[in-house]
Amino acid sequence: MFDLKSYILGMVFMAVMSFLDKPIMSFLEKHKATNSAKKKS
């Protein structure tokens, strides 16, 4: 079950990546900034 879950997650992630391509980069940057802010708080 765990293997299948991570496999599906990987497929979805790859599909999203090829779909957004450049937008995902800005999303990751935003996510990183949010994570850093959360860790600082």
Could you report the per-residue pLDDT of 1-15, keeping only the tens digit for each?
678 999 999 999 888
Supply the DSSP string of 1-41, one letter for each residue.
-HHHHHHHHHHHHHHHHHHHSHHHHHHHHHHHHHHHHHHH-
Cα–Cα distance, 4 to 28 (Å, whole number): 25
Cα–Cα distance, 20 to 15 (Å, whole number): 9
Domain count, the chain: 1
Could you report the per-residue pLDDT of 19-39, keeping only the tens digit for each?
777 676 777 788 787 777 777
Model confidence at 17, pLDDT cuts 50, 70, 90, reads: confident
pLDDT at 24: 66
Q: Which residues form the domain of 15?
A: 2-36
Q: Is position 41 within any domain?
A: no
pLDDT at 8: 92
